Structure 1
């Protein structure tokens, strides 16, 4: 006989058929549903970074199109005094005395240096004594032609002796102030050798710059010039070009243009053009200190000679393209 319904219900729970889904899954399915967002693979900061990068690229392109960069001509410069006059020896000799000191004001024809002239002075005394004897003889015998001829010869010799003594005395060629003395007593001088220098009371300093010769067509008076003295970095002096050399010269010509003492301290190379500018004051400021300019000080100069678009500078081919179209 088959089991009755009551017996089937009374069977143990272990013998009942298992469920298809777990209870947790059924409960999750029965819960109310909520709408979810799409999966975002790109974070928000990446979007802002992209926008910032695009803005920087646009700004850089605009700066390249509108901005410009300068091309500079640079070279060595030297400070020189205006109206400086070098006084040299006219004859060879030994210095016996220096009659002036640096900074002293002198007048034209004032004695500056004396050279040893004992032999010349002795020769002058001999000629003068003989001249007096011949003069007395001529006065006693006015018709003596030999005495008259000897007197004429002695007069010429006396003038030459006086000239030799005068050559051994260095005098000031004009009024001025003693700038630099390069000799001392006992020193041997040769003709043309520098003894000392004179400057005017109201002289100013100038800057002589030696720039590469290829920049000569681009240089002209009135252009700004920036000077940086050696030993004083970032202490700039902005000057105005007053004169530009008409020729491109070599190192030997540059040395000849400069004073010998200055030429020995520089080593110019290649073809050069000389540019001059005037310093407005006799001093400059380094931090909180006021310092003076001095003859022979050296430095570097820079002159902005031309300006070019930044984009063309970065891409030289654009320049050839522009020239091909006549722009």
Structure 2
């Protein structure tokens, strides 16, 4: 889904693109890494949303090699296993690995993904492939370390992981059990909640103002970015998931409020311009907003 979002943004880059070239870009956009037994494309995105170009789309696609046009789950998981070296370190390009672990829940549950890894582990046991056994455990360890909160949400995932550890002990692979340790997650969660509490207390003391005449352009840009951040942080992963699947904001009030904030800012800009009585004053407002836009661009917003 990330790849599709990045690649589709190319169609907004040049309005004078020829119809043939545009057709090629559309094909490239819809052939981002598809996670399914059958080769399918990610869900379509509404054309009314213009996505900013964050990175060259071709670079994103080429980094996936032969998987850039789609892959089965078996091919995708094998590509993730190939991201690990003999010592368990992630090779130079772990982009595909992190995308898979982040976005797999669009098409399958985390428990199903873990079950597939366990099935591969059993196959490697039967075929006596010690290197493959380690790489599977390295992948699960990376999953736990980088996306540990997933192992706190569904109890079935933790239960499946415990069953996998029992399987390791039954087949004399106790040395691999240390790679799948999760006891530290509780301590990390407490630390994370404490840090969130500190941030929350800090944010309450912060005063946000959009007084146009009394703030410099860089201050306005900072406040706008802060408001956008607070709105964005309220949107949960489930909200994004529901929106990607349905392509509509119905029954997603948090996302609706976020869009309303953006629309409200646009209306505020119009009001600031139209409220000035003379052309000279309106020109000064335009100039200030240009400087605000430049500050936002400098902040990568």
- TM-score bin (small chain): under 0.3
* TM-score, normalised with respect to structure 2: 0.23
The structure where helix makes up a greater share of residues is 2
The structure where strand makes up a greater share of residues is 1
RCO higher in structure (CA 8 A, sep ≥6): 1
Select the structure of larger CA radius of gyration.
1
